[in-house]
Amino acid sequence: MLQTLNGVLTNTSSAEGSSAGYTFANLGNPVSEIGGTFVLQSGKGGQGGAAGFILFNELANGLLTPDSAFHMAIFRKGWNLTYYLNNPVPFAAIDDPNRITSPTFGSGTFSSPLAADTTLTFSASFNIAAHTVTLRLPDGTTTSPIVLPNVPSVGHYACWEVFQQDASTDDKPAFLSIYAQ
C-alpha cells in the first residue's frame, strides 16, 4: 500500500528484493485518462524503480488481482505499455509461475535517462479513446496513437504503483499528485 510520507505518495520498503505499493480508486465509470506527477528518490545505484499507471476492470476476492488491466510503467531509461487479460495472480506476485505474460503494445527509451533528483518533477499520463491509447511521457514527448487490438473495456478502476526490483538499492518513485477521469 502507498502512504503519504513527507508530502509524497510512496512506500516504505527498503528491504532487499522486489517491492511494490499501490493505491487505487473506483471511478464508477470507464476511465479515459490516468496520470500523475512524480519524483525519483535516489537509491544506492540501482535503476530498477518504476512509476506505474494502471487501469483495470474489477478486483477478485478483495485482492489487487484485476480481471484485465492496462499497465504503463515509467523507468529511468524508458517506458512500456502492457495488457493483462484474466491474470490469476496479483500484480505484486511478479515471481509467481502462474502469472500470465502480457503483450506489450508499446515501449521506448528516453534520449536521456530521468534523473533521480527530488528537485526534478516528471509528469506522465495515458489516454484511451475507442481502441487507441496515447501516452504523454515524462521527457515531454507524446506517442502517436497506439491501436489496441481486441481488448475488453478499460474498466472503472485507476491505480498508481511504486515499484522497485530491489528496494534496498533501486531509485524509488514518489508521487506528488495523481489523477484519473
Q: How does pLDDT run across 27-54, given as a tens digit for each residue?
A: 999 899 999 999 999 888 877 889 999 9
What is residue 133's three-state secondary structure?
A: strand
The x, y and z cell numbers of residue 68, run together, are: 484485465
What is residue 161's three-state secondary structure?
A: strand
Its pTM stands at 0.86
Say if 9 falls within a structural domain.
no
β partners of residue 136? 125, 142
Say if 14 falls within a structural domain.
no
Domain hosting 92: range is 26-180
Domain at 105, CATH number: 2.60.120.560
Which residue in 31, 22, 106, 105 sits closest to 65, CA to CA? 22
Q: How does pLDDT run across 73-129, given as a tens digit for each residue?
A: 999 999 998 877 665 444 444 444 454 556 778 899 999 999 999 999 999 999 998
Say if 6 falls within a structural domain.
no
Taking residue 181's Cβ as centre, other Cβ atoms within 10 Å add up to 11
The x, y and z cell numbers of residue 10, run together, are: 510512496
The x, y and z cell numbers of residue 115, run together, are: 534523473
How many distinct structural domains can be found in the chain?
1
β partners of residue 180? 34
